[in-house]
């Protein structure tokens, strides 16, 4: 890869013909049409989030004459460039110069047009440090993957979008990375994250590819439609919202793709499931509410998913002492005591026993002292497995 340092380009040059797309939240073009600010392997503009403090910092740096750091362009043709690194800084500058946001000056908001002429000139005449890089697509992308960009690091999906950029990624982003998409309202009940950071796209790809996102993106890179991706994602979302008619906060971020694969062939009564969800969600013994959905889908057997409250140590100690005192020549494990082998009179140490619910949790038994019985580990396990 060849790179040339260019120190003559000014902010004014870059902002010539700056176009910002409000809908997609990205800076598109600059440098009189010669520069593509957001090629596919770049992410959506995110400096403007969280109160825009990073956007402000870029402009204040220019006013104070601080360096903005290196900017990298990829030279794609004679006089044609794409921003490889620096898209966020350039978009911040372009947005400011076109009066899209204001900086705070002694408590007063000032947009570009309301700055004094000398300050406007200072910004326009600021020179940028630009490395113009030339190389094969592979070289450029490998390099892009290895640089650790200042500011917000790329997350794994953003990197994959860079590596497998093409028609498929463009279409997929239009559907899943567009924060204006009206379906997001529904998706966010089940999927964590934000459109801008590619988290809906990541989940959709994860589900359709059964976890092999990179492989899937590589195979579909030049596809001119995203039918399979979209249909699969919608199938999962439709399935979960039909089976579970209530929306609980714990549903967000569950492995719905895997659950869909395992259970969508079975039929459920949504009304009954709804009652069961409510009952479990209100049960103080259930400490993992996230597990409720898979527990019910699987036929209410895998109690482990609910992490039902266990007895605390004090309750166990008390039960142990009581049972040991009452043993009278028999074992302090009540099941050993009624057996007919060598353990029938064995007194176990506390560490050799585990607590058991006398009345099972599934039958309404709680984790209080009166429902606690200590059993030797062997008996506890055999009982737990029934």
Positions in the binding site for Zn ion (CB under 5 A):
333, 335-336, 376, 379
CB of 292 to Zn ion, least distance (A): 33
CB of 383 to Zn ion, least distance (A): 10
CB of 188 to Zn ion, least distance (A): 51
Sheet holding 70-77, edge to edge: 2-6, 129-134, 70-77, 80-85, 35-36, 26-30, 19-21
Paired with 21 in beta bridges are 26
CB of 212 to Zn ion, least distance (A): 47
Closest CB to Zn ion among 133 and 375? 375
Closest CB to Zn ion among 103 and 376? 376
d(CA 145, CA 160): 9
Closest CB to Zn ion among 89 and 379? 379
Tell which residue, 71, 66, 116, 75, has the closest CA to residue 94. 71
377 in Cβ contact with 351 (< 8 Å): no
CB of 172 to Zn ion, least distance (A): 58
The alpha helices in the chain, defined as continuous H runs, are 11-14, 53-64, 87-97, 117-125, 137-146, 156-163, 167-176, 184-187, 199-208, 213-220, 227-243, 256-263, 270-281, 292-297, 313-325, 334-337, 377-384
Closest CB to Zn ion among 22 and 351? 351
d(CA 161, CA 217): 8
CB of 337 to Zn ion, least distance (A): 8
| SS3 category, 340 | coil
Closest CB to Zn ion among 104 and 326? 326
d(CA 170, CA 15): 25
CA 356 to chain centroid = 38
Tell which residue, 74, 24, 73, has the closest CA to residue 46. 24
CB of 384 to Zn ion, least distance (A): 13
Closest CB to Zn ion among 271 and 386? 386
Closest CB to Zn ion among 233 and 311? 311
């Amino acid at each position: 890869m060849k790179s040339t340092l260019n120190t003559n380009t000014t902010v004014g040059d870059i902002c010539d013909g700056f176009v910002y797309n409000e809908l997609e939240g990205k800076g598109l073009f600059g440098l009189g049409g010669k520069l593509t600010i957001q090629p596919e392997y770049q992410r959506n503009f995110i400096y403007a989030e969280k109160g825009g403090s990073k956007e402000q910092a870029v402009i204040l740096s220019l006013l104070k004459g601080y360096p903005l750091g290196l900017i990298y362009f990829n030279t794609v043709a004679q006089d044609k460039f794409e921003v490889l690194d620096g898209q966020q800084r350039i978009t911040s500058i372009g947005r400011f110069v076109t009066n899209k946001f204001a900086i705070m000056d002694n408590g007063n908001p000032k947009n570009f047009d309301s700055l004094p002429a000398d300050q406007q000139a200072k910004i326009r005449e600021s020179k940028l440090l630009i490395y113009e890089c030339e190389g094969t697509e592979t070289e450029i992308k490998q390099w892009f993957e290895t640089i650790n960009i200042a500011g917000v690091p790329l997350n794994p999906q953003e990197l994959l979008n860079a590596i497998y950029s093409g028609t498929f990624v463009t279409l997929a982003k239009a559907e899943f990375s567009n924060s204006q998409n009206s379906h997001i309202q529904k998706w966010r009940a089940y999927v964590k994250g934000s459109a801008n950071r590619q988290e809906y796209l990541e989940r959709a790809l994860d589900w359709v590819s059964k976890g092999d996102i990179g492989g899937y993106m590589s195979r579909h890179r030049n596809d001119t439609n995203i039918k399979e991706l979209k249909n699969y994602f919608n199938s999962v979302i439709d399935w979960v919202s039909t089976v579970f008619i209530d929306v609980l906060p714990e549903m967000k971020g569950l492995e719905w793709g895997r659950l869909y694969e395992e259970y969508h062939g079975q039929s459920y009564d949504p009304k009954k499931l709804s009652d069961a969800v409510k009952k479990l969600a209100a049960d103080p013994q259930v400490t993992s509410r996230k597990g409720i959905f898979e527990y019910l889908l699987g036929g209410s057997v895998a109690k482990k998913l609910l992490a039902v409250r266990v007895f605390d140590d004090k309750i166990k100690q008390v039960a142990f002492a009581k049972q040991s005192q009452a043993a009278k020549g028999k074992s302090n494990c009540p099941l050993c005591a009624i057996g007919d082998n060598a353990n029938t009179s064995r007194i176990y140490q506390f560490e050799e026993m585990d607590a058991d619910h006398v009345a099972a949790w599934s039958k309404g038994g709680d984790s209080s002292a009166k429902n606690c019985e200590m059993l030797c580990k062997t008996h506890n396990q055999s009982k737990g497995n029934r």
